[in-house]
A and B are shown apart, each in its own frame.
Chain A
Amino acid sequence: MIKKFLKYTLPLIIFCLFMSSCTKQVDFNQANDLVLEPIVASDLIFFNADATEFFVDNTELVTVRDSVIIDLFNRDFFVDYVVKAEFVFKVINSINRSSNVTIEFFDINNQKRHGFSLMALASPNNTDIITTHTEIFENQALDDLKASNKVVLTMQVLAGGDPLNDNTPGRVELKSKGLFYTSIDVSE
Chain B
Amino acid sequence: MNKLSALLALISCLSFSQNKQILYGFSDIPQSLMLNPGGKVKNKGYLGFPLLSHIHASAGTSGTTVYDLFADDGIDFNVKLQRAVNRMKPNDFFTFTQQLEVLSGGFSFGDFKRKNKYLSFGLYQETDFISYFPKDIAVLALEGNANNIGEFFQLNHVSLRGEALSVFHVGYNKKVNREFTYGVRGKIYSSIVNFHSIKNDGGFVTRQGVNNFYAHTFNLDFALQTSGIIRDEDEDSDFSEKDIVKRTLLGGNLGLGFDVGVSYNITKQWTFDVSLLDIGFVRHSKDITNYEIKGQYVFEGINPLFPEANEGQTAEDYWNEVREAFEDLVDIDETTTKYTTWRPIKFNASLNYVFGKQKYEDCDCTRHDDEYMNAVGLQLYAINRPKRPQSALTAYYYRHFFKGLRAKVTYTVDSYSFSNIGLGVSAHLGSLNFYVMADNFLSLKNIYNTQSASVQLGFNYIFNKNED
Interchain CA distance A8-B144 in the complex, whole Å: 59
B449 — nearest CB in chain A belongs to which residue? A24
B70 cross-chain contacts in A, Cβ below 8 A: 26-28, 30-31
Known: A26-B71, A49-B306. A33 touches B142 (CB 8 A): no
Give, as a whole number of angstroms, the nearest-CB distance from A119 to chain B: 17
B240 cross-chain contacts in A, Cβ below 8 A: none
Give, as a whole number of angstroms, the nearest-CB distance from A1 to chain B: 9
Known: A24-B71, A26-B67. A38 touches B141 (CB 8 A): yes
CB-contact partner of B67 in A21, A24, A33, A36, under 8 A: A24
Q: Is there contact, CB below 8 Å, between B436 and A21?
A: no
Interchain CA distance A25-B448 in the complex, whole Å: 9
B66 cross-chain contacts in A, Cβ below 8 A: 26
Total interface residues in chain A, CB < 8 Å: 57
* A interface residue numbers (CB < 8 A to B): 4, 7-9, 11-12, 15-16, 18-19, 21-49, 53, 64, 66-70, 88, 90, 153, 155, 175-177, 179, 182, 186-187
Q: Is there contact, CB below 8 Å, between A45 and B303?
A: yes
B453 — nearest CB in chain A belongs to which residue? A19
Give, as a whole number of angstroms, the nearest-CB distance from B422 to chain A: 12
10 other A-B residue contacts (CB within 8 Å) besides A39-B143, A45-B301: A12-B436, A26-B71, A31-B77, A43-B216, A46-B300, A46-B302, A48-B303, A67-B315, A68-B316, A68-B318
CB-contact partner of A66 in B9, B314, B402, under 8 A: B314
Q: Is there contact, CB below 8 Å, between A47 and B305?
A: yes
B: interface residue count bin: 35 or more
Interchain CA distance A33-B213 in the complex, whole Å: 35
B333 within 8 A of A: no
Interchain CA distance A103-B37 in the complex, whole Å: 76
B448 — nearest CB in chain A belongs to which residue? A26
* B interface residue numbers (CB < 8 A to A): 1, 4-5, 8-9, 66-67, 69-72, 76-78, 81, 140-147, 149, 206, 209, 211-216, 299-306, 314-316, 318-319, 402, 404-405, 423, 425, 427, 429, 434, 436, 438, 444-449, 455
Known: A22-B444, A46-B212, A175-B212. A153 touches B306 (CB 8 A): no
Q: Is there contact, CB below 8 Å, between A15 and B425?
A: yes
B214 — nearest CB in chain A belongs to which residue? A43
Interchain CA distance A8-B69 in the complex, whole Å: 40
Top 5 nearest A-B pairs by Cβ distance?
A38-B144, A43-B301, A41-B146, A39-B146, A31-B5
Give, as a whole number of angstroms, the nearest-CB distance from B121 to chain A: 28
Q: Is there contact, CB below 8 Å, between B447 and A22?
A: yes
Q: Is there contact, CB below 8 Å, between A22 and B299?
A: no
Interchain CA distance A40-B302 in the complex, whole Å: 17
Interchain CA distance A47-B300 in the complex, whole Å: 11
A23 cross-chain contacts in B, Cβ below 8 A: 446-448
B72 cross-chain contacts in A, Cβ below 8 A: 25-27, 30
A53 cross-chain contacts in B, Cβ below 8 A: 306
Q: Is there contact, CB below 8 Å, between B315 and A21?
A: no
A175 cross-chain contacts in B, Cβ below 8 A: 209, 211-213, 301
A23 — nearest CB in chain B belongs to which residue? B447
B215 cross-chain contacts in A, Cβ below 8 A: 43
Interchain CA distance A144-B192 in the complex, whole Å: 52
B211 — nearest CB in chain A belongs to which residue? A46
Q: Is there contact, CB below 8 Å, between A67 and B316?
A: yes
Q: Is there contact, CB below 8 Å, between A47 and B209?
A: no
Interchain CA distance A179-B216 in the complex, whole Å: 14
Q: Is there contact, CB below 8 Å, between B77 and A46?
A: no
CB-contact partner of B448 in A24, A64, A155, under 8 A: A24
Give, as a whole number of angstroms, the nearest-CB distance from A60 to chain B: 15
Q: Is there contact, CB below 8 Å, between A25 and B71?
A: yes
Selected A-B contacts with CB under 8 Å, 28 pairs: A11-B425, A12-B434, A18-B444, A19-B444, A19-B455, A22-B445, A22-B446, A24-B71, A24-B446, A24-B449, A26-B66, A31-B5, A32-B5, A34-B81, A39-B147, A40-B146, A41-B144, A41-B146, A42-B214, A44-B301, A49-B305, A53-B306, A67-B315, A70-B319, A155-B305, A175-B212, A179-B146, A186-B4
B437 — nearest CB in chain A belongs to which residue? A15
Give, as a whole number of angstroms, the nearest-CB distance from B301 to chain A: 3
Interchain CA distance A49-B149 in the complex, whole Å: 27
Q: Is there contact, CB below 8 Å, between B299 and A47?
A: no
Q: Is there contact, CB below 8 Å, between A48 and B316?
A: no
Give, as a whole number of angstroms, the nearest-CB distance from B5 to chain A: 4
Interchain CA distance A37-B139 in the complex, whole Å: 11
A5 — nearest CB in chain B belongs to which residue? B429
Q: Is there contact, CB below 8 Å, between B300 and A43?
A: yes
B147 cross-chain contacts in A, Cβ below 8 A: 39
B300 cross-chain contacts in A, Cβ below 8 A: 43, 46
Give, as a whole number of angstroms, the nearest-CB distance from A152 to chain B: 9
Q: Is there contact, CB below 8 Å, between A29 and B5?
A: yes
Give, as a whole number of angstroms, the nearest-CB distance from A101 to chain B: 10
Give, as a whole number of angstroms, the nearest-CB distance from B95 to chain A: 21
B447 cross-chain contacts in A, Cβ below 8 A: 22-23
B445 cross-chain contacts in A, Cβ below 8 A: 22
Interchain CA distance A88-B145 in the complex, whole Å: 16
A71 — nearest CB in chain B belongs to which residue? B323
Known: A34-B78, A41-B145, A176-B213. A48 touches B306 (CB 8 A): yes
Q: Is there contact, CB below 8 Å, between B5 and A28?
A: yes
A154 — nearest CB in chain B belongs to which residue? B305
B425 cross-chain contacts in A, Cβ below 8 A: 11-12, 15
Q: Is there contact, CB below 8 Å, between A48 and B211?
A: yes
Most buried by A among B144, B145, B215, B402: B144
Interchain CA distance A20-B206 in the complex, whole Å: 50
Q: Is there contact, CB below 8 Å, between A40 and B145?
A: yes
CB-contact partner of A46 in B303, B405, B446, under 8 A: B303
